[in-house]
Amino acid sequence: MNQAERDRYSRQIRLEQFGEKGQQAILDASALIVGVGGLGSPAAMYLAAAGIGKLVLSDYDIVETSNLQRQIIHPDSAVGDDKVESGRHTVKALNPNCAVDVIPYQLEGEELRQVVDSVDIVLDCSDNFPTRFDLNRACVETRTALVAGAAIRLEGQIMNYQPAADSSCYQCLYPKAYGAEESCEMEGVLGPVVGVIGTLQAVQTLLILAGQGDELVNRLLLFDALSMQWQGVTLPKNPECPACGGRATA
Ligand SMILES: [Zn+2]
């Protein structure tokens, strides 16, 4: 770590749980962010600002006017652009030292597995069950940490998969897609509520990279903005889980 980095990240290094060792781990780390929308915006921006070495941004959408209310990584001038390119532009403006790779299409199959295997941690910032299941499975198969967030209306949730702790995974929570999938387009969502969850994904990612973050092992955290309540729910490993069941490794 050079002096410029020591200055830039000094407030973080000062934290006893991080220190120079934790900061170096963040500088050396790479993260895949799937979905550069309401969750991915604050997650990518905070991780870049915190000094993460490399971000891989994956999204096949273009920026629309109706995104701007909550997807704060995209400025008004980016409407019509690829979300990943707009995201890269903002991240680079925040911290030019952060390397950014972009994947402007849906990651699937073996390629998804390879990209997941190539990074230290994955953030699920997507908005649909098929993507969430594929991503979770790739993380379980490659034993890559996953931080999954979701938000709709005035509610949000966050959970994670930590292979080092042999924790429960996303499909322990949702073995299969259930009912008609709800969407923010149909149900609506308050921008800062998505921001709270995406920001919390960045918090949890930084904690895990610095060797902390055990509090969310086997636990789902729910946020309700209307009642201003947080609720932690135990999320045990499901032996019947289609993704990690029977895969418990010593
Ligand atoms: Zn599972």
Share of the chain above pLDDT 70, in %: 97
Share of the chain above pLDDT 90, in %: 91
CA of 234 to the centre of ligand 1 (A): 14
Q: Which two tokens stand for residue 239?
A: 């032996």
Can you give the pLDDT at residue 246? 61
For 71-84, what is each residue's pLDDT tens digit? 999 999 999 999 99
Is 139 labeled as catalytic in the residue annotation? no
In whole angstroms, what is the distance from residue 22 CA to residue 230 CA?
A: 28
Say if residues 49 and 139 touch (Cβ distance below 8 Å). Answer: no
CA of 204 to the centre of ligand 1 (A): 19
Q: What is the mean pLDDT of residues 35-58?
A: 98
- Asked if residue 6 has pLDDT above 70, the reply is yes
Bridge partners, 153 (sequence order): 189
Exposed, middle or buried, 185 (CB in 10 Å: 0-12/13-18/19+)? exposed
Can you give the pLDDT at residue 187? 87
For 210-241, what is each residue's pLDDT tens digit? 999 999 999 999 999 999 999 999 999 999 99
CA of 123 to the centre of ligand 1 (A): 17
